[in-house]
Structure 1
Amino acid sequence: MKASFDDIFVTTTCPSQEQLLDYVQGKLSPEERHAIELHITDCEMCSEALEGLMAIQQKEKIPGWLRQMKWETLSKLRRKSRTRRPVDFKISLVVIVCAVIFLVLALFWTYYFYVRK
């Protein structure tokens, strides 16, 4: 299941969620803090994420909230994908029926005009 819903932090050069949380909670070494500070000067997304994390007063609850938001988002995405499947099936069925009708008419037209002459 995790393979189908990858985190946005996996494919970038941005720090991971854990690193940003450790930065906010003050658990990083001075070198790691400096590296993150250099990165957020260039990366608007990480800068805004860090700003949002720092605005939260109860920093020890952040990991739980992030997990909860992630699971809620994943469940919403799954519900959306389930509701779309019948519509996609109906559309593909209509396309197949139209293609069959077109082929039957083309065969009839070919027989009527070329074979009967």
Structure 2
Amino acid sequence: MKDNLKDILSNLNPDIDQETLLLYLQGKLSAEKQHELEMQMLDSDFDIDAMEGLQSLSSTQNVSHLVEQLNRDLRKRTAQKKSRREKLRLKSDPWIWVTILITLLLIVVSYLIIHQFLKS
């Protein structure tokens, strides 16, 4: 099986081994082990729904294809959001800071000169 399927299965329940989940999906576990695994998963509705969804797929090829498609879509959406964030982010050019600093210094010096001129 592909590692992508193992990645999805690892998010179900950290207490359950990935290989055990794969064997459960393939129906290669003994009845006792299946019952034990189902008892561990009863604590979480998400785990139960996820396993039912994976079992409802007709073959493991469909699961692998589905995982690849989901990963592609996720990468595409995150890349779009990242590019939007980059466009909105202000670019800090060092020349802008130098210009602002010089302008502020000129204002302060002008104020001091005018103040001294009016005082005398």
Alignment TM-score > 0.5, same fold: yes
Over 3 Å counting, the alpha-carbon distance change for 1:21 and 1:79 in structure 2 is farther
> Unaligned regions of 5+ residues in structure 1, if any?
1-6
Question: 1:42 deviation in Å?
Answer: 1.8
Aligned to 2:44: 43
Alignment length (residue pairs): 105
Q: TM-score, normalised by structure 1?
A: 0.55
* Root-mean-square deviation (Å): 3.6
Q: Is the 8 A contact 1:23 1:33 kept in 2?
A: yes
Q: TM-score, normalised by structure 2?
A: 0.55
Structure number with the bigger relative contact order (C-alpha 8 A, sep ≥ 6) is 2
Partners of 1:112 and 1:62 in 2: CA distance: 72
Work out the percentage of aligned pairs sharing the same amino acid. 25
> Unaligned regions of 5+ residues in structure 2, if any?
1-6
SS of structure 2 residue aligned to 1:106: helix
Extract structure 1 runs of 4+ deviating beyond 4 A.
14-19, 29-32, 99-102
Q: Which of 1 and 2 has greater Rg?
A: 2
Question: 1:52 deviation in Å?
Answer: 1.4
Aligned to 2:69: 68
Question: 1:27 deviation in Å?
Answer: 2.6
